Chains A and B, each alone.
Chain A
Amino acid sequence: MPNIRLPRWLRGQAGRETLAALALLAPYLIIFIVWQIYPIFYGLWLSLTNLDLLSPGETQFVGLDNYARIFSDEFVGISLLNTLYFTAGSVLVGTVLALVLALAMNTTSVGGRWLKWVCFVPYIVTTSASAIIWQRIYAGRYGILNQVLNGVGLPNIAWLENTHTAMPAVIVVAIWNELGYRALILLAGIQNISMEVQESAMLDGAGRWARLRYITLPLLRPILFFVLTMAIIGSFQVFSLVLVMTSQWGDVYGGNPLYRTLTIVMYVYAQAFKLLDMGYGAALSWMLFAIIMIVTLIQMKAVGGQE
């Protein structure tokens, strides 16, 4: 039997534990590498080619042509601006509302427990179902919202067909979907804050608002950073909600009305899977990855670094 000498870090008790950990992680790691890491780098390769799914044998290396095309494509600008609009609305407004809700839920009363249940229900409704429900709510003359408006003497609003109200209407649905989930995470953070700190502040005469501003929010910063980061990443990738709510028959890019709700992922999807320009779709995806990475790094510096 050959004498195999293991590397130092795999020897001894610590080494055996490391081997055991690797063995247990191996199944997930294999799946992760095959189904996530490999496609990411294959996508990078695709972005440097002109792959058309209908003629894959004629694929040629085109270098950075797909990336250069991004700068002259008006729909990239349109979809990115729409995505930023959606992100700003759903993340900022949604997180503030989630914080308010978390503070309201921070009680042992029956009302607090009931609030947790009610607010979490939208999170477990699938995105497509949410979109269809809200389409009915926003519908024209016979939609629920317009019926309420008519009932108080106000005129109808074409929520999803008016260029000024379409994206805000979608943002409301996104906030409604995520509110409970974010609030629960923030609630967990709030409940982790030591009661002694709060009590000391109360003894020193700090009011509710002062305690919130000088104790709760600073100590909640890591959790807030997590919630904001995850929300931003998710918002940049918004797709199915907008697609179901605003698409019409015959669309190629979607984003009705008049591309006001066209997001970057919808545009990537149209390029790659409708127009079959896989290379350009892959380049757009990598552009999106770079943008999300930059935004996250800026966030880490501005928010996370102040710890």
Chain B
Amino acid sequence: MDRKRLSRRDFLRIGALTAAGVALGGCAQPTPETEVVEVEVTRIVEGTPVVEIEEVEVPVEVTREVPAAPEETVIEFWNGIGPPEGVLMQDLMNRFEDSQTEVKIEQWTTEWEAFYTKIRTTYAEGVGPDLAVTHPRYQARYGGTVFQPIDDLVDADPEIDSSMFSGSAWEACFYEGKQYALPIDIHMFALYCNVGLFEAAGLDLPKTENELVEAAKALTEAPDQWGLFTRYSGGGLFWEWLGYLAHRGQKGVLSEDGTKAAFNNDAGIGALQRMYDNIYTDKTGWGPVEGLDSYQAFMSQTCAMRNGGTWEKFAWDTIQDLRYTSIMFMPEEPGTWGSSHLFVFPQMGTDEATQGAWDAAKFILKNFSVEWGVRGGHVPALLEAAEDPEYTGLKEMQGFRDSVPYIVYLPRVPQHEEVSEAIIGNLNAAMGGEKGIEEALNDAASKVNDILGA
């Protein structure tokens, strides 16, 4: 039997007709609903009125149900805090959502690199979250654009006041006189010490830099045990160097007015030299050749001390027989890198959404700050929470609490990323042996001054 084959022309005809039909169907105007009714019509026939019944098509009155206005406001919350605290923040937001019915939260949690890339590239299209978490240094660049001032929101809310928060955390929310954020916490570096290794060696915890160096030497039995992990590359090198710098009386890397570099001096050189000597002269810390994972080294108790952040507590707590504590870096002349997590309100949506975001942030701060400190590891910005016995009962975090008045923030200038890159690149070169320490710091300062236009 001969089958009729579909030719290419027929296929195209059918396809075009189908597409046209779909398009026309979509464009067709809806016909009004009508019904046929019988009406009495009186006509005069040869002078005599005659009543006739006629069928007439008339429109039908249709009553449609208008959907009720939505009862809840949906807000978007973007969060760059990675695990484990990032998961905790998700949980706290869920608990806020469960506590009321007016605000629903759509959350996006990622890591910082992806967060900042997305929030700044979507800004140009007017897309963004109603609530987000950020760091103080980004306000210089994004304040007034991605991050909107919240002075009006603060002034209008009697439940939020500067006296409720740690001074440095509250100040971190301001840039050029405008407030852009509410502070969640303060986090910084302090010196984690393996208590067991110190006791076994019969040593006291160091209070001065000299004691730190001597303790590190006494606790080093390379390659099986190291006294002090010192960073030799990356952004963490910059943070750690800020602590050694502050210990020498230099708080920060820029001049007071933030217009030029102020670190290529005796303090800067001395700080970097001390770090270099830790690794290559005293050999109390490993270098790139050994390439140990610093977290694993402290957890496996092959490293006695490390300058580390509040968030590292989670890793140490997973090791049952790891006895550790934290002390300020260094009590004799304290100073350490620090930062804060801040709630910002990009205000991309409606006023209702902004209000919902404000309510969510306030709820988290007032009800969960203690939990954020205990389970998140960071020092709560809310004073009441920072003094709560449940949080102060974490004795191993005392070094971080003691460090709060002495933290040094990263440069808060619009070009902070270029400035950081110039410094980090040269610190890496010095620690990697590519440049002398003084040469590296002078090159960094020269670049920073070019960037700042000094």
* Contact of B142 with A by CB under 8 A: yes
Q: Is B141 an interface residue (CB 8 A)?
A: yes
Question: Once A and B bind, how many residue pairs between them come within 8 Å at the CB atom?
Answer: 98
How far apart are B246's CB and chain A's nearest CB, in angstroms?
Answer: 18
**Cα distance A66–B234 in the bound complex, in angstroms:** 29
Q: How far, in whole Å, are A162 and B424 apart by their CA atoms in the complex? A: 17
| Residues in A neighbouring B291, C-beta threshold 8 A | 139-141, 143, 146, 156, 158, 161
Q: Which of A16, A23, A257 has the most CB of B within 10 A?
A: A257
A294 at the interface (CB under 8 A from B): no
Are B121 and A250 in contact, with the CB atoms below 8 A? no
Q: Given known contacts A23-B12, A140-B291, A158-B291, is B420 in contact with A249 (CB within 8 Å)?
A: no
The A contact surface, by secondary structure, is loop
Asked whether, in the complex, the Cβ of B289 is within 8 Å of the Cβ of A250, the reply is no
CB distance from B265 to the nearest CB of A (A): 23
Residue from the list A140, A249, A251, A258 in contact with B429, Cβ < 8 A? A258
Contact with A along B283-311 (1 / 0, CB 8 A): 00001111111000000000000000000
Asked whether B8 lies within 8 Å of A20 as measured between CB atoms, the reply is yes
A141 touches B290 (CB 8 A): yes
Asked whether any CB of chain B lies closer than 8 Å to the CB of A163, the reply is yes
Q: Sort chain A's interface into a size bin.
A: 20 to 34
A259 to chain B, nearest CB (A): 7
- Given A16-B9, A158-B291: A141 in contact with B432 (beta carbons within 8 A): no
Q: Which of the residues A142, A143, A250 comes within 8 Å of B234, measured between beta carbons?
A: A250
Distance in angstroms from B237 CB to nearest chain A CB is: 8
B-side interface residues, number (CB < 8 Å): 37
Closest CB in chain B relative to A278 CB, distance in Å: 9
B48 at interface (Cβ–Cβ under 8 A)? no
Name A149-173 residues within 8 Å CB distance of B: 155-158, 161-163
B210 at the interface (CB under 8 A from A): no
Complex contact B434–A163 (CB within 8 A): yes
Query: A24 → chain B, closest Cβ, in Å?
Result: 9
Q: A240-267 interface mask toward B, CB cutoff 8 Å, 1 = contact, 0 = none?
A: 0000000011111100111100000000
Are B146 and A141 closer than 8 Å at their CB atoms? no
Stretch at the interface among A80-88, A102-110, A122-130, A268-276: A268-276
Asked if B142 and A163 make an inter-chain contact with CB atoms under 8 angstroms apart, the answer reads no
Interface residue B117 (Cβ < 8 Å from any Cβ of A): yes
Whether, in the assembled complex, B77 has its beta carbon less than 8 Å from a beta carbon of chain A, the answer is no
Query: Which among B9, B142, B233, B291 has the highest number of chain A CB atoms within 10 Å?
Result: B291
The interface residues of chain A lying within 8 Å CB-to-CB of B145 are 54-55
**Chain B nearest CB, measured from A18 CB (Å):** 13
Complex interface: chain B residues within 8 A of A162 (CB): 288-289
A30 CB to closest chain B CB, in angstroms? 14
Chain A positions 46 through 84: 1 when the CB is less than 8 Å from some CB of chain B, otherwise 0: 000000011110000000000000000000000000000
Docked-complex contact A140 and B290, CB < 8 angstroms: yes
Decide if A140 touches B292 in the complex (CB within 8 Å). yes
With A16-B9, A54-B142, A258-B434 known as contacts, the answer to whether A140 contacts B289 (CB < 8 A) is yes
Contact between B124 and A53, CB atoms less than 8 A apart: yes
List 8 additional A-B contacts (Cβ < 8 Å) besides A53-B124, A54-B124: A55-B145, A158-B289, A161-B233, A248-B234, A252-B421, A252-B424, A258-B434, A273-B121
A residues with a Cβ closer than 8 A to B are 16, 20, 23, 53-56, 139-143, 146, 155-158, 161-163, 248-253, 256-259, 273-276
A-B contact pairs, 6 of them (CB 8 A): A54-B146, A141-B291, A158-B290, A162-B289, A250-B420, A251-B421
Seen from chain B, the residues whose Cβ lies within 8 Å of a Cβ on chain A are: 8-9, 12, 116-117, 120-121, 123-124, 141-142, 145-146, 223, 233-236, 238-239, 287-293, 417-418, 420-421, 424-425, 428-429, 432, 434
